[in-house]
Structure 1
Amino acid sequence: MTPDTEAAAQQADAFMAGKRRADDIAFMLGQVLRTMGITVGDRESWPQLTGRASLAGTPYVYLGTVPLPTAQKLANALVYAESARRAHA
């Protein structure tokens, strides 16, 4: 392999590895949301949740646009969890 093709192959491998990690994270987040009664893919609940990666292989999750009632539900759950954590500390 030439240095150019080897570099391109390494970049493609890094991208695919990052994409797999991002997909796994998006799946786990979808499962957590499901336990909260939030349906990913439902326009009224949470329309889009996608795992993505940069060309360098850095994984990230695209959350899409979240409707206000869903965002309020998440905020309330986070405030409750933090207050419960502080109560036990």
Structure 2
Amino acid sequence: MEISASEATAYAGSAASLGSSLTLTNVGICVGIATAILTFAANVYFMRQRRAEEREEHLARMAEIEANTKAGVPIAMGAPAPSRDGMEVMENG
């Protein structure tokens, strides 16, 4: 399908009239909306990546806990607390 010279001129004229009707305020609004949409899309992308990584971490931790439980290793509750003689002791509870 070929465009005739008169059709091309009409399209160019309509594009020029549309472009000349935009003010700096309108352009600023369009740029702001585009920036907001791109920011939202980037946030969604990176949050999905973060959730996938956290899910993998969680599953690995749960598998380790399950393996230790089956092996009879007690689950440590809390961080190691220093004892009076300098040796670290695990506290339960």
User: Per chain length, whose mean CA-contact separation is higher, i.e. which structure has more relative contact order (CA < 8 Å, sep 6+)?
Assistant: 1
Same fold, judged at TM 0.5 (above) = no
Q: Aligning the two structures, in what range does the TM-score lie when normalised by the shorter sequence? A: 0.3 to 0.5
Q: Which has the larger radius of gyration?
A: 2
Structure that is richer in strand per residue: 1
Structure that is richer in helix per residue: 2
